[in-house]
Protein backbone atom coordinates (compact mmCIF):
# COMPACT_ATOMS: atom_id res chain seq x y z
CA UNK A 1 0.00 0.00 0.00
CA UNK A 2 1.29 3.48 0.75
CA UNK A 3 1.16 6.64 2.80
CA UNK A 4 -0.30 9.72 1.09
CA UNK A 5 -1.20 12.99 2.84
CA UNK A 6 -2.70 16.38 2.06
CA UNK A 7 -2.47 19.46 4.27
CA UNK A 8 -4.05 22.91 4.14
CA UNK A 9 -2.63 25.67 6.32
CA UNK A 10 -1.68 29.33 6.15
CA UNK A 11 -2.61 30.00 2.54
CA UNK A 12 -0.79 26.89 1.30
CA UNK A 13 -1.71 23.33 0.37
CA UNK A 14 0.66 20.39 0.31
CA UNK A 15 0.45 16.82 -0.97
CA UNK A 16 3.07 14.22 -0.16
CA UNK A 17 3.57 10.48 -0.73
CA UNK A 18 6.04 7.74 0.02
CA UNK A 19 7.70 5.89 -2.87
CA UNK A 20 7.36 2.16 -2.15
CA UNK A 21 5.31 -0.19 -4.30
CA UNK A 22 4.25 -3.44 -2.67
CA UNK A 23 3.31 -6.63 -4.52
CA UNK A 24 1.16 -8.88 -2.36
CA UNK A 25 2.44 -9.60 1.13
CA UNK A 26 6.01 -10.49 0.34
CA UNK A 27 7.64 -8.25 -2.26
CA UNK A 28 8.42 -4.55 -2.41
CA UNK A 29 9.78 -2.27 -5.10
CA UNK A 30 11.82 0.57 -3.60
CA UNK A 31 12.51 3.91 -5.27
CA UNK A 32 16.06 2.92 -6.23
CA UNK A 33 14.66 0.19 -8.50
CA UNK A 34 11.71 2.15 -9.95
CA UNK A 35 12.32 4.92 -12.48
CA UNK A 36 8.75 6.18 -11.88
CA UNK A 37 8.52 6.03 -8.08
CA UNK A 38 6.76 9.40 -7.65
CA UNK A 39 3.16 8.50 -6.76
CA UNK A 40 1.92 12.05 -7.29
CA UNK A 41 0.93 13.11 -10.80
CA UNK A 42 -0.16 16.49 -12.07
CA UNK A 43 -2.84 17.61 -14.46
CA UNK A 44 -2.44 21.34 -14.83
CA UNK A 45 -2.65 22.92 -11.38
CA UNK A 46 -4.00 19.71 -9.81
CA UNK A 47 -1.80 17.18 -7.98
CA UNK A 48 -3.27 13.70 -7.40
CA UNK A 49 -2.07 10.49 -5.73
CA UNK A 50 -3.79 7.10 -5.55
CA UNK A 51 -3.76 4.43 -2.84
CA UNK A 52 -4.50 0.82 -3.73
CA UNK A 53 -3.64 -1.08 -6.86
CA UNK A 54 -0.64 0.25 -8.76
CA UNK A 55 -2.65 -0.44 -11.94
CA UNK A 56 -4.82 2.61 -11.15
CA UNK A 57 -1.97 5.08 -11.68
CA UNK A 58 -1.60 5.03 -15.47
CA UNK A 59 -5.28 4.22 -15.97
CA UNK A 60 -6.43 7.28 -14.03
CA UNK A 61 -3.87 9.58 -15.63
CA UNK A 62 -4.92 8.47 -19.11
CA UNK A 63 -8.65 8.53 -18.35
CA UNK A 64 -8.59 12.00 -16.79
CA UNK A 65 -6.54 13.48 -19.61
CA UNK A 66 -8.86 12.00 -22.21
CA UNK A 67 -12.04 13.53 -20.75
CA UNK A 68 -13.42 16.29 -22.96
CA UNK A 69 -14.13 18.38 -19.88
CA UNK A 70 -13.14 18.02 -16.25
CA UNK A 71 -13.60 20.20 -13.19
CA UNK A 72 -11.32 19.46 -10.25
CA UNK A 73 -11.80 22.82 -8.51
CA UNK A 74 -14.70 22.03 -6.16
CA UNK A 75 -16.38 19.11 -4.41
CA UNK A 76 -19.31 19.22 -6.85
CA UNK A 77 -17.02 19.50 -9.89
CA UNK A 78 -14.84 16.61 -8.74
CA UNK A 79 -17.92 14.46 -8.15
CA UNK A 80 -19.24 15.20 -11.64
CA UNK A 81 -15.83 14.50 -13.18
CA UNK A 82 -15.57 11.11 -11.47
CA UNK A 83 -19.20 10.30 -12.32
CA UNK A 84 -18.36 10.84 -15.99
CA UNK A 85 -15.14 8.92 -15.57
CA UNK A 86 -16.75 5.75 -14.14
CA UNK A 87 -18.28 4.41 -17.41
CA UNK A 88 -15.03 5.22 -19.23
CA UNK A 89 -13.09 3.17 -16.64
CA UNK A 90 -15.44 0.23 -17.22
CA UNK A 91 -15.72 0.44 -21.01
CA UNK A 92 -12.20 1.47 -22.04
CA UNK A 93 -9.99 0.26 -19.18
CA UNK A 94 -11.93 -2.88 -18.15
CA UNK A 95 -12.49 -1.86 -14.53
CA UNK A 96 -14.20 -4.52 -12.42
CA UNK A 97 -16.70 -2.51 -10.32
CA UNK A 98 -17.79 -5.36 -8.02
CA UNK A 99 -17.17 -5.09 -4.28
CA UNK A 100 -19.84 -6.09 -1.73
CA UNK A 101 -23.31 -7.35 -2.70
CA UNK A 102 -25.01 -4.76 -0.50
CA UNK A 103 -23.08 -1.74 -1.82
CA UNK A 104 -25.47 0.99 -3.01
CA UNK A 105 -23.43 1.78 -6.14
CA UNK A 106 -20.81 0.26 -8.40
CA UNK A 107 -17.30 0.90 -7.17
CA UNK A 108 -14.71 2.80 -9.18
CA UNK A 109 -12.09 1.01 -7.03
CA UNK A 110 -10.24 4.33 -6.60
CA UNK A 111 -9.10 6.07 -3.43
CA UNK A 112 -7.13 9.24 -4.00
CA UNK A 113 -6.14 12.57 -2.57
CA UNK A 114 -6.03 15.78 -4.59
CA UNK A 115 -4.44 19.15 -3.84
CA UNK A 116 -4.86 22.28 -5.92
CA UNK A 117 -5.13 26.05 -5.38
CA UNK A 118 -8.80 25.54 -4.46
CA UNK A 119 -8.21 23.16 -1.54
CA UNK A 120 -7.53 19.57 -0.54
CA UNK A 121 -9.92 16.77 -1.45
CA UNK A 122 -10.38 13.02 -1.19
CA UNK A 123 -12.22 10.73 -3.61
CA UNK A 124 -13.36 7.30 -2.44
CA UNK A 125 -14.49 4.17 -4.35
CA UNK A 126 -18.19 5.01 -4.75
CA UNK A 127 -17.31 8.49 -5.94
CA UNK A 128 -17.70 10.05 -2.49
CA UNK A 129 -15.87 13.37 -2.49
CA UNK A 130 -14.66 15.12 0.65
CA UNK A 131 -13.13 18.56 1.01
CA UNK A 132 -10.80 18.71 4.00
CA UNK A 133 -10.24 21.81 6.09
CA UNK A 134 -6.91 20.85 7.73
CA UNK A 135 -5.31 17.53 6.69
CA UNK A 136 -6.03 13.94 5.71
CA UNK A 137 -4.21 10.71 4.87
CA UNK A 138 -4.91 7.49 2.95
CA UNK A 139 -3.09 4.21 2.48
CA UNK A 140 -1.79 1.61 4.89
CA UNK A 141 0.31 4.19 6.76
CA UNK A 142 -2.60 6.61 7.20
CA UNK A 143 -3.11 6.10 10.95
CA UNK A 144 0.54 6.91 11.68
CA UNK A 145 0.44 9.92 9.36
CA UNK A 146 -2.82 11.23 10.83
CA UNK A 147 -1.46 10.98 14.37
CA UNK A 148 1.76 12.76 13.48
CA UNK A 149 -0.05 15.57 11.63
CA UNK A 150 -2.60 15.96 14.44
CA UNK A 151 0.12 16.41 17.06
CA UNK A 152 1.94 19.15 15.12
CA UNK A 153 -0.81 20.95 13.18
CA UNK A 154 -1.16 23.78 15.71
CA UNK A 155 2.64 24.29 15.88
CA UNK A 156 4.34 27.04 13.90
CA UNK A 157 4.84 24.83 10.84
CA UNK A 158 3.93 25.21 7.17
CA UNK A 159 1.61 22.86 5.30
CA UNK A 160 4.69 21.29 3.69
CA UNK A 161 6.40 20.69 7.04
CA UNK A 162 3.26 19.06 8.46
CA UNK A 163 2.87 16.85 5.37
CA UNK A 164 6.51 15.82 5.67
CA UNK A 165 6.00 14.75 9.28
CA UNK A 166 2.99 12.68 8.26
CA UNK A 167 4.97 10.83 5.59
CA UNK A 168 7.94 10.33 7.89
CA UNK A 169 5.68 8.71 10.51
CA UNK A 170 4.04 6.47 7.90
CA UNK A 171 7.42 5.37 6.56
CA UNK A 172 8.78 4.77 10.05
CA UNK A 173 6.02 2.40 11.17
CA UNK A 174 4.16 1.04 8.11
CA UNK A 175 5.70 -2.00 6.40
CA UNK A 176 4.38 -0.89 3.01
CA UNK A 177 5.75 2.68 3.02
CA UNK A 178 9.34 3.84 2.41
CA UNK A 179 11.32 6.98 1.74
CA UNK A 180 12.15 8.97 -0.27
CA UNK A 181 9.00 11.04 -0.34
CA UNK A 182 7.54 13.29 -2.99
CA UNK A 183 6.17 16.63 -1.79
CA UNK A 184 4.39 19.36 -3.74
CA UNK A 185 3.06 22.68 -2.45
CA UNK A 186 0.79 25.29 -3.97
CA UNK A 187 -0.54 28.61 -2.76
CA UNK A 188 -4.27 28.64 -2.06
CA UNK A 189 -6.33 30.75 -4.43
CA UNK A 190 -7.71 33.93 -2.85
CA UNK A 191 -11.12 33.48 -4.55
pLDDT digits (tens, 9 = 90+) for 127-149: 899 999 999 999 999 999 999 99
Range 175-190 average pLDDT: 95
pLDDT, residue 116, reads: 98
Percentage of residues in the chain with pLDDT exceeding 90?
72
pLDDT, residue 102, reads: 76
pLDDT, residue 191, reads: 67
pLDDT tens, 74-121? Answer: 999 999 999 998 888 888 778 777 777 777 777 787 899 999 999 999
Range 121-129 average pLDDT: 92
Domains along the chain? 4-187 (3.60.20.10)
Please tell me which residue, 20 or 53, carries the higher pLDDT value.
20
d(CA 51, CA 112): 6
Range 47-69 average pLDDT: 89
Range 46-54 average pLDDT: 91
- pLDDT, the chain, mean: 92
Range 22-35 average pLDDT: 89
Amino acid sequence: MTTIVVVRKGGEVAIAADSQTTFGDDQKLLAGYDLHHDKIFSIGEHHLAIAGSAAHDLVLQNALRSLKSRDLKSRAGIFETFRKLHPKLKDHFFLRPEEEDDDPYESSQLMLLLANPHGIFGVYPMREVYEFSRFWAIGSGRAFAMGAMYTCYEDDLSAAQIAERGILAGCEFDLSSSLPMSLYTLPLSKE
